[in-house]
């Protein structure tokens, strides 16, 4: 993260982290659906610790549920300092719902989710 993404407190803006969460969740939902999926709702967004300029972030998105046309995706954001070794900290989490859409933008069915966890994205 760079200083261009910081707020007046010198930490990364929440909206920047939210965009990363939404992008990762959309990729996981689209991959599972085999095509476009759009955000329907942000069910939960939690900021656990500040992110500072220079932090390296990793984002992990995983499908939690797949219904007939909608999917719930859980996302975790981890941060580590770019110039220091040390523990990686969980800095944010999110839970979002997506709907798969066809070429006309209408909802379409999605594949069943394997409950054994093999559909992890």
In this predicted structure, the answer to whether residue 41 has a pLDDT above a threshold of 80 is: yes
In this predicted structure, the answer to whether residue 120 has a pLDDT above a threshold of 80 is: no
Average pLDDT score over residue span 31-37: 96
Q: Which pLDDT score, from 0 to 100, does residue 117 have?
A: 52
Whether residue 109 is contained in a domain is answered as: no
- Using an 8 Å Cβ cutoff, are 36 and 100 in contact? yes
CATH number of residue 22's parent domain: 3.10.129.10
Q: Which pLDDT score, from 0 to 100, does residue 118 have?
A: 52
Q: Which pLDDT score, from 0 to 100, does residue 81 have?
A: 85
pTM attached to this predicted model = 0.88
- Using an 8 Å Cβ cutoff, are 100 and 112 in contact? no
- Beta-bridge mates of residue 73: 63, 96
- Using an 8 Å Cβ cutoff, are 71 and 33 in contact? yes
Whether residue 108 is contained in a domain is answered as: no
The count of domains in the chain is 1
Burial 40-51 (b: 16+ CB within 10 A, else e): beeeebeeeebb
In this predicted structure, the answer to whether residue 71 has a pLDDT above a threshold of 80 is: yes
Residue 78 domain boundaries? 3-100
């Amino acid at each position: 993260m760079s200083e261009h993404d910081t707020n007046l407190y010198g930490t990364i803006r929440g909206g920047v982290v939210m965009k990363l969460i939404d992008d990762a969740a959309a990729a996981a939902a689209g991959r599972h659906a085999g095509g476009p999926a759009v955000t329907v709702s942000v069910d939960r967004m939690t900021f656990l610790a500040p992110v500072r300029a220079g932090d390296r972030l990793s984002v992990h998105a995983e499908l939690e549920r797949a219904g007939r046309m909608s999917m719930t995706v859980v996302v975790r954001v981890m941060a580590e300092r770019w110039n220091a070794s040390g523990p990686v900290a969980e800095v944010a989490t999110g839970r979002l719902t997506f709907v798969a859409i066809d070429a006309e933008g209408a909802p379409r069915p999605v594949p069943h989710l394997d409950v054994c966890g093999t559909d992890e994205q």
